[in-house]
Structure 1
Amino acid sequence: MNTPEPKPEHEQRGIQSIEVGGQLLRALAHQGRPMALKDLAAAAGMAAAKAHPYLVSFGKIGLVEQDKASGRYGLGPLALQLGLMSLQQVDPVRMAAPLLDELAAETGHTLAIAVWGTAGPTIVWLAESPAAVHVNMRQGTVFSIAGTASGRAFAAHLPEALVRPFYEAERRDDTLAPWPQFERQVLAEVRAQGLSRTDGGVVAGVSALAAPVFDHRGAMVLALVIIAPSAAMDTAWDGAMARRLREAAASVSRRLGHGPAGA
């Protein structure tokens, strides 16, 4: 007798009731606040009478918790514990790299991940483009605060007390603006746009865009960077390249717990 072969993973049958009940947990995570039964059921796309038994069971194992005074449901201690464990196991660079691999293949540009190191913004991952970019870059390369897109991204989102000393060290030759002017003219725009850029003005013929990635505390943990010859790079704030980079950074940030789940 022939033994039936197992179905491919994408065809394997799950437990439908768990998937249905999961919609309630997803709705709670997305809303980010305790909810009345009627509102929670509506957000999950089901009737209140159908939702209630799921919530009772979730309450028994600690996935949800009902406030005795208001009757509203919120995430319970087990859900919080699972969330904290998930965050502890996350490696932001490992999570971001596949997205940038796709973007590198799509654009043909050089992609990099920079983190804040002891010497400032530092490349920890690099996918080089076949097109020549005349900038000496490799893993471990430290970027300028004032003169690079990634440096400006970190300067805009990290505490001033951490970043400003590095900026002041770059100002020793007095060619850079004082910090208050840099803050007002450059960093304010970076925050407003959700992106930083250099457009051939720092390294002749080379442009870059950098997008910040945030963790569950709202702290910037890395920058996603695109670097390319200026003639081949669209650095417009509302251009296709800027939109793709923002989307990639937002996707990684959500997976790190920044913002509502599923947003």
Structure 2
Amino acid sequence: MPDKDDDMRSGGTEIQAVDRAAQILRLFGPETPELTAGEAAERLDMNRTTTYRYCTSLVSAGLLERGSRTGTFVPGALLLQLGAFAVGRRKVVDLAPPYMRELCTSTGLTTVLSLWGSTGPIVSRVEEDATRTVLVTVRVGTQLALLSAQARVFLAHMTDQLRVDRLLGSISDERRPGLAREVHDLTGTDRVAVSSDGFGVNAMAAPVFDESGICASIALISTGQLLPLDPDSGNAELLRDTARALTKAMGGDLRPQR
């Protein structure tokens, strides 16, 4: 049993249990979708038994769930619900729907608005073309990988270069140089970024700015046949125009295309 005072830090102003729970939750992301208590303990340099107790308590609270593999944990429904709610409070989420609907109608493709979470873009709103026989979509609350088109856009316009370097450092040695080059080429422009998931689904994303800098990315997603990875295509121009219009509505700085 920990000492009674062990639950308090900094002269009684910070609850250690909350801090430790947050540290565990921060471990999850696109590159770490599930963890065992032992793996979490090793990464955080915590006692394995204590870490397991924290994980089971987080399961009871709905912040974690049991994973598909024995002994693993994954983000819980309450965590996803709270995350989607938090990002949904941003002004851009309220302003975006008519712009997204128009883009979706013009292209016939699924339109996605994403905001930056702690370690990657979070899908905050989705507009779908229900007339399509084949529909490619993504759930609100999904955290996208750093290799996604949306993440590339955010990385290109973040002002904290140390943060960008740290995030790029989490990418495999094989893919990091190419991603870094693409991010560099997008910096200072409003050009679209493109990506493919390797399973036939393509994405194309453009930045949205407010008075403080990048606040969101707006993207098109579909099959490779319907959305070729051409940053100079008609769909890319429609996407860029939509991002510029939303940027203007947000009172942001329109970045010239380089």
Q: The TM-score by the shorter chain falls in which range? A: 0.5 to 0.7
Partner residue in 2 for 1:75: none
Please list every run of 5 or more consecutive structure 2 residues that lacks an aligned counterpart in the other structure: 1-88
What RMSD, in angstroms, separates the aligned Cα atoms of the two structures?
2.4
Paired with 1:223 and 1:258, the residues of 2 have a C-alpha distance of 13
Deviation at 1:162, TM superposition (A): 2.6
Contact 1:109–1:128 at 8 Å: present in 2 too?
Answer: yes
Q: SS where residue 198 of structure 2 aligns?
A: coil
Aligned length: 162
Contact 2:209–2:253 at 8 Å: present in 1 too?
Answer: no
Deviations 1:71-107 (A, max 9, x none): xxxxxxxxxxxxxxxxxx9811111121111111222
Please list every run of 5 or more consecutive structure 1 residues that lacks an aligned counterpart in the other structure: 1-88
Paired with 2:242 and 2:227, the residues of 1 have a C-alpha distance of 18
Partner residue in 2 for 1:209: 204
Partner letter of residue 204 of structure 2?
L
Contact 1:90–1:256 at 8 Å: present in 2 too?
Answer: no
Q: SS where residue 99 of structure 1 aligns?
A: helix
Q: SS where residue 187 of structure 1 aligns?
A: helix
Partner residue in 1 for 2:134: 132
Distance 1:160 1:133, change over 3 A: farther
Q: Select which of 186, 191, 200 maps to 1:190.
A: 186
Partner letter of residue 251 of structure 1?
A
Q: SS where residue 183 of structure 2 aligns?
A: helix
TM-score, normalised via structure 1 length? 0.55
Partner residue in 1 for 2:176: 177
Deviation at 1:134, TM superposition (A): 6.1
Paired with 1:182 and 1:215, the residues of 2 have a C-alpha distance of 25
Tell me whether 1:150 sits opposite 2:150 in the alignment: yes
Partner residue in 1 for 2:101: 101
Higher mean C-alpha displacement, 122-131 vs 224-233: 122-131
Give the percent of matched residue pairs that are identical in Structure 1 and Structure 2: 25
Deviation at 1:131, TM superposition (A): 4.7
TM-score, normalised via structure 2 length? 0.56
Partner letter of residue 214 of structure 2?
M
Contact 1:193–1:237 at 8 Å: present in 2 too?
Answer: no
Q: SS where residue 251 of structure 2 aligns?
A: coil
Paired with 1:169 and 1:238, the residues of 2 have a C-alpha distance of 30
Partner letter of residue 177 of structure 1?
R
Paired with 1:92 and 1:222, the residues of 2 have a C-alpha distance of 7
Paired with 2:151 and 2:133, the residues of 1 have a C-alpha distance of 23
Larger gyration radius, structure 1 or structure 2: 1
